[in-house]
Amino acid sequence: MKVSHIEHIGIAVNSLDEMIPYYENLLGTPCYAIEEVKDQQVKTAIFQVGGTKIELLESTDPEGPIGKFLEKKGEGIHHIALATEDADTALKEAEEMGIRLIDNTSRKGAEGLDIGFLHPKSTHGVLTELCSL
Ligand code: ZN
């Protein structure tokens, strides 16, 4: 698989309202996009940090993936997203490497990216997202 860079790091937070000012101060850059991704029951806030991004994730439904994560583990790093040429091809390549997939084909994520997740059980605990424009 060919990965060009870390597209973003996803961080689960209880409240975007509280955490956006914190990250704006910490990073010295404003949050440039807030978007709800209904499909994943999250609201995201995105910061550009050099060639990568920080994606804050607030749950909109306690039964959604971020809601469950927050309940089990609390706030913290949720996933790492790798930028690939084509998410579907990268997912197939990961499967051929013996990695279990959460998504067999890509779906639309924040910022219109095509995204798909690898299963953390087969990535040694790191929830990994493959994405492409
Ligand atoms: Zn992500």
Domain 3-132 has CATH 3.10.180.10: yes
| Residue in this structure with the two tokens 């956006």, named with its chain if needed | 20
CB 131 within 8 A of CB 7: yes
Whole-number Å distance, alpha carbon 16 to ligand 1 midpoint, is 16
pTM for the whole structure: 0.93
Query: Which amino acid belongs to residue 79?
Result: H
Structure confidence by residue, pLDDT tens digits, 70-110: 999 999 999 999 999 999 999 999 999 999 999 999 999 88
Considering only residues 77 and 121, tell me which one the structure prediction assigns the higher pLDDT.
77
Whole-number Å distance, alpha carbon 106 to ligand 1 midpoint, is 12
Rounded mean pLDDT, 56-66: 96
CA distance 67 to 75: 10
Whole-number Å distance, alpha carbon 83 to ligand 1 midpoint, is 11
- Percentages of the chain per state (helix, strand, coil), in multiples of 5: 30, 40, 30
Whole-number Å distance, alpha carbon 9 to ligand 1 midpoint, is 7
Whole-number Å distance, alpha carbon 48 to ligand 1 midpoint, is 13
| Domain layout of the chain by residue ranges | 3-132
